Structure 1
């Protein structure tokens, strides 16, 4: 079968996670793109960088990881996030504002990528500023009709609004959310008293989604499709940190679906990849061959 060379895109924030042991390149879109690229997909990270030394370092790292990127330079600093880890390796974030990825321009090159995209992952964080929000909306609006549009909701600090979430749910066909975010969305949209499963089926139906992925940390994860639920327990592993684990789940799940795997097969792979990433420091470890297909 002829290989599909259309793009798999991580769209949004490009930033450095400043961790206790030093800084590491991160940001959900770059993490997603990196993990999708490990499954031999034509993966590209789309964002914006500053005109500073950190931008040069970003490019060097992306090229070392053999990750394609489209990141125009803008007159704002390259993004950073101060990450504090608790005793279980779970991160909290202090995300700097008015940085390059808040100001992603919708260039001709980015539009060309959008028109040739087979899957794109985007979140709420990169839509906190109107410039990047409009670019993300324009990108999604020109993708092909068969494009998988993954809204990895990724609620961070105060950087989201009901309007942005509603608009994103209308533009996506797959939602990825965690159990804490589901509680927030339930309150925000007035779904009181519903259990987890009914809440997920309600969102799936209301926004006409093909897939809803719910991750519940150590309590496992669920994939909802119309009329069906897949459940996988979370493997017990020695956790180094959980930074990027969710993005590795999304990237590997998307790669498996694009390769023709069933939802259940894709779910199992995603859980195991995510567990492996938790045993490594940083968001972009190379995956062992046992995960490849």
Structure 2
């Protein structure tokens, strides 16, 4: 496998789950899971100068997850997570926290120049400070066929705008979105047609994307590219919770693509990994070697 740096950028926080707190945040989840495939990964975020921040940094070290985590005067982020009887989480996300104020430093710029693939979302762009840092990082990254800018849209509560989504779509070359988020984007941008595939194809063409990943929960998932469509059923598993499952999907898909796998091979691995994550508590369980040895 070509050695490359892959970065997850945005929120790093504590998920306050019914059974206790666990480290989380989509970019941190992504960076952790892709590191399990032997890929050099980084998480870029911020914590507070508080006990929660120190514990979060210690937890990342325990997981051997490297990153640029700045300490700020704002509190470390946390999310109250309630999980229903089907394992589906509901989030209450604390506002004006450290990861809303991620600075763009010389070290951040240097990492951007070395990054081959980045995963970012809409949530960390809710505040102008982190939004500016994410955009500068994307603009500093090299361009080219082997560069991947993955917008895992992650619409949460009311923390997004049409402008944030539009700018992110212009800066990314892979979009990952779920069926509920696709409905929102279809309405916001008045996309033509009535079907999901037509909306996805419109986004794929309008923003010249390399791929669009659509996940539909238990109803399966699709990967659309300009040349092909891949569909996979969602495996039936005993669900503990679905926290972090989508992030593991993105990480496994990216790991497979970076290793030279086809879109269908990457899709197959991503579906299997995310199904396994659903059987585990929390967002960052250890992946069995049966998955990590597949690339």
Q: TM-score range by the shorter chain?
A: over 0.9
1:92 Cα offset (Å):
0.5
Query: Is the counterpart of residue 232 in structure 1 residue 232 in structure 2?
Result: yes
Task: Kindly state the Cα deviation for residue 125 of structure 1 after the two structures are TM-superposed.
Answer: 0.2
CA deviations 1:115-142 (Å, max 9, x no partner) are 1001000000000000000000000001
Q: Give per-residue Cα distances to partners, 1:76-119, cap 9 Å, x unaligned.
A: 00000000111101001000000000000001111110010010
* Aligned residue in 2 for 1:265: 265
Aligned length: 291
1:193 deviation in Å? Answer: 4.0
How many Å separate the matches in 1 of 2:132 and 2:206?
24
Does the Cα contact within 8 Å between 2:192 and 2:199 map onto a contact in 1? no
Report the counterpart of residue 97 of structure 1 in structure 2: 95
Within 5 A, what are the aligned runs for 1:239-250? 239-250=239-250
Q: Aligned partners of 1:16 and 1:152: how far apart in 2?
A: 20
The match for 2:6 among 8, 24, 29 is 8
C-alpha RMSD of matched pairs (Å): 0.8
SS of residue paired to 2:255: helix
Structure 1 unaligned spans of 5+: none
Which blocks of at least 5 consecutive residues in structure 2 are unaligned? none
Measure how far apart 1:192 and its partner are: 5.2
Could you list the per-position Cα deviations for residues 143-183 of structure 1 after superposition, in whole angstroms to 9, with x for gaps in the alignment? 01132000000000000000000000000000000000000
Q: Which residue is 1:278 aligned to?
A: 278
| Alignment correspondent of 1:190 | 190
Matched, 1:86 2:78: no
Which position in structure 1 is the counterpart of 2:218?
218
Per-residue deviation, residues 223-264 of structure 1 (Å, max 9, x unmatched): 000031000000000000000000000001000000000000
For 1:138-149, list aligned pairs within 5 A: 138-146=136-144, 147-149=147-149
TM-score when scaled to structure 2? 0.97
| SS of residue in 1 equivalent to 2:72 | coil
Partners of 1:72 and 1:16 in 2: CA distance = 16
The one of 16, 19, 37 aligned to 2:17: 19
Which secondary structure does the structure 2 equivalent of 1:71 belong to? Answer: strand
Matches within 5 A, 1:87-236: 87-146=85-144, 147-191=147-191, 193-236=193-236
Give the distance between the partners of 1:28 and 1:213, measured in 2 at CA.
Answer: 16
Q: Where does residue 55 of structure 1 map in the other structure?
A: 53
Matching residue of 1:288: 288
* Number of the residue aligned with 1:72: 70
Structure 1 residue 191: Cα displacement: 1.9
Distance in 2 (alpha carbons) for counterparts of 1:194 and 1:207: 19
Mapped to 2, the partners of 1:291 and 1:192 lie a distance apart of 39
| CA shift for structure 1 position 194 | 2.1
SS of alignment partner, residue 247 of structure 2 = helix
